[in-house]
Amino acid sequence: MNPTRLVVIGQGYVGLPMALRAAAAGLQVAGLDTDGAVVEALNAGRSHIDDVDDAELARGLAAGYRATQDPAVIADADVVLVCVPTPLSEDGGPDLRPVESAARAIGDHLTADTLVVLESTTYPGTTEEVFAPLVLRDRWELGTQVRIAFSPERIDPGNATYGVQNTPKVVGGLTEACTLAARDFYARFVDSVVTTKGAREAEMAKLLENTFRHVNIALVNEMVRFSRELDIDLWDAIDAAATKPFGYMAFRPGPGVGGHCIPVDPSYLSHRVRAKLGYAFRMVELAEEINTAAPLYVARRVQQALNRRRLAVNGARVLLLGVTYKPDIADLRESPAEPLADQLAAWGADVRFHDPHVPVWRRHRHDPSTARTCEPDLDTALREADIVVLLQPHREYDLARLAELSTVLLDTRGVVRGAGPAGGTDGPDPARVETL
């Protein structure tokens, strides 16, 4: 039997690992992307994604994987996966233009007996109402000639334990035959496949997962503010609560949420509820309000810490450590470091940064005047800063050393507690290390 011919549309954080996993499982894979530079780099063996190193890409290329800009490859495909971006539009709803243009490209080149799966995160109803009509165009019969399903991508960038193969895959088709075809396809290279009643349930499962995280992060980000005023160490309380073996899952405060998913996806759902039903999804709106305010709360904590030392923010040198949206990755999208740095700069601070993953940080992607170079020597930068703010505890950071060399360290993650001075056994000096 010939190997299954797979086309993965969108070769970004989601599409590329998926394409390479499938190639490793023996499928014949083409990665379709509209970005010529991405296609060229991939075919030359250069990965632009943190979680895919060049060696893995080289193995994929050796197994037959190729990137292309030519949508005509769809005509030869048995299966087409769509992993294009779904950003927010100006009105706060999902911008479905990439999904629609991918669906049109599929419709232009589709042949009979193809399975088409949308993986991009979007609101419930998109696969049926927006995607399928552009693919089918009244030319194909759904469920018999062409099968269409939704399967949310659950990739967690930087997660060394869970990848494409061992993260259970949820699939929901537009008909039962569509669900079964998608299930059988993914079962070839994913350990566990879970089916839902239909595509809407699979779409909703993804938004439920991300809304759950958003709301729970907001919960602790709100609690941390009054805990401080009540003289309660919230991190200690969370550690205690986390010993309960059932009914509790620990979330910890931080400088705010970031990345392509958590700050964005729940808005798809609230937008859909409001547009379709006319009322608000209040939990999401509240979580957004709290998490959006988190970086500004950190800025105020910087101001207070400097004030206690008779220093003004204006003119103070502030060193931000870790400006990506989470530890151990290079992704800067929606990072809370951006609004924090903006606020501190607006108050007149001399904002510097250090991040082992970011040689040059352009705070506003489209504004070159906001570009800054990573401090070349961490120890010197720590010693010379009036205050150091730990945002992302990348594994390269020696926490005890950060505490030892900083004049004042604001630890937004609560991770420096318990990390004693290098070589010593005591905790950090509480007069110099503060938490939120």
Ligand X SMILES: NC(=O)c1ccc[n+]([C@@H]2O[C@H](COP(=O)([O-])OP(=O)(O)OC[C@H]3O[C@@H](n4cnc5c(N)ncnc54)[C@H](O)[C@@H]3O)[C@@H](O)[C@H]2O)c1
**Least distance between ligand X and beta carbon 311 (Å):** 39
User: What is the rounded distance in angstroms from the CA atom of residue 175 to the CA atom of residue 393?
Assistant: 46
Does 190 bind ligand X (CB under 6 A)? Our answer is no
Stretch that binds ligand X, among 10-18, 138-146, 173-181, 319-327 (CB under 6 A): 10-18
Does 47 bind ligand X (CB under 6 A)? Our answer is no
Q: Are 210 and 134 in contact (CB under 8 A)?
A: no
**Least distance between ligand X and beta carbon 323 (Å):** 18
Q: Are 305 and 434 in contact (CB under 8 A)?
A: yes
Q: 5-9 and 371-373: which strand pairing?
A: unpaired
Stretch that binds ligand X, among 6-14, 296-304, 334-342, 377-385 (CB under 6 A): 6-14
List the structure tokens of 325.
């949206």
Q: At 4, is the secondary structure helix, strand, or coil?
A: coil
Q: Which of 6, 14, 182, 220 binds ligand X (CB under 6 A)?
A: 14
Q: 409-411 and 433-435: which strand pairing?
A: parallel
Stretch that binds ligand X, among 31-39, 239-247, 390-398, 417-425 (CB under 6 A): 31-39
Stretch that binds ligand X, among 5-13, 212-220, 303-311, 421-429 (CB under 6 A): 5-13
Q: Which of 157, 263, 295, 428 binds ligand X (CB under 6 A)?
A: 157
Does 101 bind ligand X (CB under 6 A)? Our answer is yes
Q: Which of 120, 126, 211, 221 binds ligand X (CB under 6 A)?
A: 120
Q: Are 414 and 385 in contact (CB under 8 A)?
A: no
CA distances from 331 to 18, 48, 99, 158, 374 (A): 18, 11, 22, 10, 15
Give residues 304-363 in contact with ligand X (rule: CB under 6 A): none
Reading phi first (left if > 0) and then psi (alpha if -120 to 50, else beta), residue 349 is in beta
List the structure tokens of 309.
């030392």
From the number of C-beta atoms within 10 Å of its C-beta (0-12, 13-18, 19+), residue 299 rates as: buried
Give residues 243-272 in contact with ligand X (rule: CB under 6 A): 260-261
Nearest CA-CA partner of 412 in 156, 218, 224: 224
Catalytic one of 83, 178, 261, 374? 261
Does 10 bind ligand X (CB under 6 A)? Our answer is yes
User: x/- site string to ligand X, residues 66 to 85, per CB under 6 A?
Assistant: -----------------xxx
- With CB atoms as reference, the residue minimizing the distance to ligand X is 12
Helix (H) or strand (E) holding 41: helix 36-43
What single DSSP character describes residue 129?
A: I
Q: Which of 32, 57, 174, 341 binds ligand X (CB under 6 A)?
A: 32
* Of 102 and 132, CB closest to ligand X: 102
Q: Which of 3, 5, 12, 177 binds ligand X (CB under 6 A)?
A: 12
83 is catalytic: no
Q: At 426, is the secondary structure helix, strand, or coil?
A: coil
Does 126 bind ligand X (CB under 6 A)? Our answer is no
Q: Which residues bind ligand X (CB under 6 A)?
A: 9-15, 32-35, 38, 83-86, 98, 101-102, 120-121, 153, 155, 157, 260-261
Active site residues: 261
